[in-house]
Chains A and B, each alone.
Chain A
């Protein structure tokens, strides 16, 4: 059974894509490696392909083509090596979205167009025998995010530590709590180094009632990398990579629990 994880945040720029891309790569590159698929369902601002170093001109098909009915979902799969140096066979499967400005503007208006996402990604997960399928969703709860959450059994909510996000996150939590999901986890991101992580974690757990899987500080090296590649693979021994690994391990454990 595939663990389908929908990553979401209430505002763009919280770090959902960064967390998901790194976690996916860690799951696909660690022994025993998992079979991992990643879908960029953030149609209004797709960026996963940048993090995975896949240039736009290399796209054959995208999620947009599938939703518009011009290709099958599997036609949009792009294999991404996660351990090119020592084991080129280790890869994850990415389905990118079309980052072209016209496509993005059009997709931002889609409502019913996105509905096939819910069932087709489950079919894909079964066909490819994936261990994990990660869905990078649109910020907030637009129709595409709701479709992704319908398919998911795990919700991973990234909370950027900013007051603009607090109350909106409470509203998202209230909606997701109504859905029949197996797991709900939160990653608190962009924590100022001047705050005490334990206090923040206790406060967040108390406010939302969800497990806090990890607390990630603001990180200069991550900022300087500018989303141009995967932080966890470039800085394998960095404390932030340890935090990302903690999220990956939390998800893998959750997957094993699902199997039992």
Chain B
């Protein structure tokens, strides 16, 4: 039985794409067939983590949404791009990086219902064990749909007042949509904070399980999205936390 997992944050800049890419890779390393859809159409980014050449991106999610092709034709096998041999498969469905195509989606919108059909088609065509959705920040229609059809949802926030209100509303919405599994991830925590205290405080504030409190890491900063952290630093405490997050979301 395949699973759909959404990774969301109310605001941008929380580390959503990095977390999605690492969870996807760690699940694929267990031998699973993993799909990753970049639905952050306004500011795509996860293709960079999977080493896709922007000049030769080929078909994107936009082409499917505009009826130019089947969604399976927009899937790119990026397994060999992650730098180390892994047992499973990673397929990326990127969003277009062309300014004109981004502008068109922002201006005209698209039929959100197509996303749901597309996700099901992808799972079937590529025989996926798991489909990860890197969502658009905020709480728009496509995000609500992604959340509603997910078996598990991870909401990422930073311990920053800019993230509090939106995260709290997102948690409320996810509860109303009855997501079977809901967890919070606190990311980019300054090292001067005590992670256990942060976890307790956030759990109290949102009345929701905190799967991990990830600390700010200079190694992550130096890697700067040029690769998959978990493969570059397999023994790093953050990689261990990514593994736990992957297990909590999938198992």
Contacts and interface: CB of A to CB of B under 8 A. Distances in A.
Per DSSP, chain B at the interface is loop
B99 A141 contact: yes
A68 interface: no
Nearest to A219: B190
A9 B29 CA distance: 34
Contacts of B99: 141, 171, 175
B160 A45 contact: no
Contacts of A10: 43
B169 interface: yes
Given A13-B14, A193-B218, 8 more contacts: A11-B45, A45-B12, A161-B224, A164-B49, A168-B43, A168-B45, A194-B222, A195-B222
In this complex, the member of B11, B99, B140, B224 whose beta carbon has the largest number of chain A beta carbons within 10 angstroms is B224
B190 A223 contact: yes
B54 A167 contact: yes
A81 interface: no
A167 B190 contact: no
A47 B225 CA distance: 25
A197 interface: no
Contacts of A228: 161
Nearest to A16: B13
Contact of B218 (A47, A105, A194): A194
A227 B218 CA distance: 21
A164 B106 contact: no
Contacts of A190: 221
Interface residues of A, number: 43
Q: Sorted from nearest, which 7 A-B pairs have the closest CB atoms?
A: A13-B13, A12-B12, A223-B190, A164-B45, A163-B225, A192-B221, A47-B162
B182 to A, nearest CB: 18
B98 to A, nearest CB: 9
A6 to B, nearest CB: 17
Interface in A43-94: 44-45, 47, 50
Per DSSP, chain A at the interface is loop
Contacts of B161: 47, 50, 226-228
A99 B165 contact: yes
B231 interface: no
A162 B138 contact: no
Contacts of B109: 109
Interface of B: 10-14, 17, 42-43, 45-46, 48-49, 54, 97, 99, 102-103, 106-107, 109, 137-140, 159-162, 165-166, 169, 188, 190-193, 216, 218, 221-222, 224-226
26 contacts: A11-B12, A11-B13, A11-B43, A11-B45, A12-B12, A12-B43, A14-B13, A44-B138, A45-B11, A45-B12, A50-B161, A101-B169, A104-B139, A105-B140, A139-B12, A141-B99, A161-B221, A162-B224, A164-B17, A164-B49, A164-B225, A167-B48, A167-B97, A168-B43, A194-B218, A224-B193
A163 B166 CA distance: 27
Contacts of A218: 216, 218, 221
A124 interface: no
A218 B219 CA distance: 12
Given A44-B138, A111-B106, A143-B106, A226 B159 contact: yes
A162 B218 contact: no
B219 to A, nearest CB: 9
